[in-house]
Structure 1
Amino acid sequence: MITLYADRKTSCDFMGGLSETLLYGPPIGTRIALTKNEYAYSCGEIDQNIYFLESGQLKTVTFSRSGKECFLRICGPGEMFGEQGLGGAVRAESTIAMQDCVIRRVPYSLFINTIRDEGLMEDFITHLSRRLFEQQQAITNLVTVDSEQRLGTILLDLADKLGKGDPHRPRIDLRLTHEELARMVGTTRSRIGHFLKSFRGNGLISTSPTSRLIIHRQRLSAYLNGRYS
């Protein structure tokens, strides 16, 4: 059985409050437009800013010593990213636009003062705890869960973040290649193709007329928890 991310409601409450502050309150930080494949920040930089994605999608990646890219997460509209920089540490990851994006860059000191003034500090601590849990769960799944189940978990998470349309059968409009999914799962492109074919055959996912991926949320969740045949 795979445990999915916890405390989503609390984190959503925090991000909702932060979004309202950034979008409708007095302007803070700097709005930046990124084109596809442009970096928000790069691995190795010391960058004492926190970032907020207003539109588009970004991916966060890190690299092995040999230069192989490891896909960490996808960030969708309304999400915060770059939290690691709050402590002034050297960034261990790069964040790259997967399509044209608009982001907001906020200096650490200004961000802390803003959420303190808005009464969001406690919710922010909970948000950071959830992010830490996500990372720990991803490491645990990588070590203890097979590739097929990891792919299913990632598809459910993407449906939560990026899904559109019917909430029971959300559509993911972002085009993800088998290579990108393979880097997220930690397996080969050919195995991703095999797993996706199996998921389609079992009615766990399908494809729209415009070739967008549709996730049958309840079926896939039941499958991952051993309750679907």
Structure 2
Amino acid sequence: YLLRRTIRVEESLIDQMFNSSEKRLARTLMLLSNFGMDGQSSAVVAKVSQETLAEMIGTTRSRVSFFMNKFRRLGFISYGETLEVHPSLLTVILYDRSSEGRLEI
């Protein structure tokens, strides 16, 4: 248990140091969408507030809102009553190799 927890903390620190908040949000949404799902092309994420997402990735709610709107505009997610994540499209953000690690539009 202690080793697993230490590994998670270490991964979180590395994520905070080397990834932009946009990539951290994309990664978090992918992880939440895959929680308990096997082999689905898209998944509905349990109800989670933008404030909670901001706390999870270490940024502000306004930045989460900005990126969520961007992801929706690009077709990576759809939301209203529920949040539907399209993991295959979010992968584009996670593996983007642009100069600043941001998705070029």
- Which range, TM-score by smaller chain? 0.7 to 0.9
Question: What is the number of residues matched between the two proteins?
Answer: 99
Runs of at least 5 residues in structure 2 that lack an aligned partner in the other structure: 98-102
* Equivalence map 1:172-191=2 (5 Å): 172=45, 174-191=46-63
Shift of 1:137: 1.7
Structure 2 Cα separation of the partners of residues 162 and 135 of structure 1: 22
CA 1:213–1:163: 2 relative to 1, 3 Å: farther
**Considering only CA atoms, is the larger Rg found in Structure 1 or Structure 2?**
1
* Equivalence map 1:56-205=2 (5 Å): 83-84=1-2, 128=3, 132-163=6-37, 167-172=40-45, 174-205=46-77
Cα RMSD (Å): 2.4
- Select the structure with the greater relative contact order (CA < 8 A; seq sep ≥ 6): 2
Runs of at least 5 residues in structure 1 that lack an aligned partner in the other structure: 1-82, 85-127
Alignment equivalent of 1:218, drawn from 82, 88, 95: 88
Normalised to the residue count of structure 2, the TM-score between the two structures is 0.80
For the residue of structure 1 that corresponds to 2:75, the secondary structure is coil
Q: Which runs of 4+ in 1 moved over 2 A?
A: 131-135
Normalised to the residue count of structure 1, the TM-score between the two structures is 0.39
Does residue 206 of the first structure (1) align with residue 56 of the second (2)?
no
